[in-house]
Amino acid sequence: MTFEQQWIEYDFNPFILFDSSGKIVSLNAEAQFLLGSSNTATIFEIATLHASQNFGFKTTFMDLEFGRYKFFGITVGYENEDQLGIRLYQVPSYHFSKPKIDSGEIVNVYTLIDLCISTNSISSKATFLKDLDPSIPDVRLNTNLFVKLLNRIYSVCLDSDEITTKLFFRVGEHIKFDNKKYSLFTIMISSSNIDLSKSSSIDQLAEQNSVSVEIKDNYVSVNIPLITD
């Protein structure tokens, strides 16, 4: 692999090269992750719709979203009828602090969720619902810090009638630390009434836990590297 090819391979932005029928000729590492949240036909259609009328390159600014991936623009280019390339400019969505792999302890995340639900249900009339993927293994977390984070998230939802906790793998998504790739899983806590005025404290606790959070009007999700060693 040439130095130029390595730049493409390790680019933060997905790059895909198609043949004229929409079959992938080549793609970089980030594009492989993207296709876990999208599909080849959709990306090819976007590329063909926004290609220049003549040979060459065309950049278009637009908002695109595929799962956790958000983009603010694309460049589409071709120099013959046989191949068409697209580069998608990514908006960073997850901000992980580098975890201390040897800190914390191996814990059962289901137990921590149940503990926090039990604690918060005492002071709330909300109905707590759970939708938990049973296949998440024990992971390395700082138990005290992580319980504080979950409790803080539940605390901003307590004025709702129902609070739903969903636990699931993020299929095809990974994060790298020290050249080692870790899968991701998510705890999503959703409700109809979230007090967004307390979101800054959630961000602070997430950083202390070396995890990423997404805070929306009706849910807060915690995205966690699957560290089992």
Check pLDDT > 70 for residue 95: no
Is 209's pLDDT higher than 70? yes
CA distance 206 to 183: 18
What integer is the mean pLDDT of 1-20? Answer: 86
pLDDT in tens, 50-91: 999 999 999 999 999 887 688 999 999 999 999 999 999 987
At 146, which helix (H) or strand (E)?
Answer: helix 143-155
Asked if 24 contacts 17 with a C-beta cutoff of 8 angstroms, the reply is yes
Average pLDDT, rounded, for the chain? 88
Q: Comparing 2-6, 46-50, 137-141, which segment has the lowest mean pLDDT?
A: 2-6
pTM over 0.75: no
10 Å Cβ neighbour count for 167? 20
According to the model, what pLDDT value does residue 150 have? 97
174 has pLDDT over 90 = no
pLDDT at 10 over 90: no
97, pLDDT greater than 90: no
Do residues 101 and 206 make contact, with C-beta atoms less than 8 angstroms apart?
Answer: no
Of the pLDDT bands very low, low, confident and very high (cuts 50, 70, 90), residue 2 is confident
Domains of the chain: 3-91 (3.30.450.20), 105-225 (3.30.565.10)
59: left (phi over 0), alpha (psi -120 to 50) or beta: beta
Phi, psi of 197 (to 5 degrees): -65, -15
Higher pLDDT, 72 or 98: 72
216 or 211, which is more confident?
A: 211
Question: Any long-range contacts for 173-182 (C-beta under 8 Å, 24+ apart)?
Answer: 173/33, 173/36, 173/37, 173/67, 173/68, 174/33, 175/94, 175/96, 175/225, 177/96, 177/98, 177/99, 177/101, 177/225, 178/101, 182/225, 182/226, 182/227
Q: How far is residue 96's CA from residue 149's CA, in Å, rounded to a whole number? A: 15
Confidence of residue 101 (pLDDT cuts 50, 70, 90): low
Spatial CB neighbours of 215, under 8 Å, sequence gap ≥ 6: 194, 196, 199, 202, 203
**Mind giving me the DSSP string for 85-125?**
EEEEEEEP---PPPP-TTSSEEE-HHHHHHHHHHHHHTT--
pLDDT above 70 covers what percent of the chain?
Answer: 93
Residue in this structure with the two tokens 């993927």, named with its chain if needed: 133
Q: Give the Cα separation of 220 and 202 in Å (integer).
A: 9
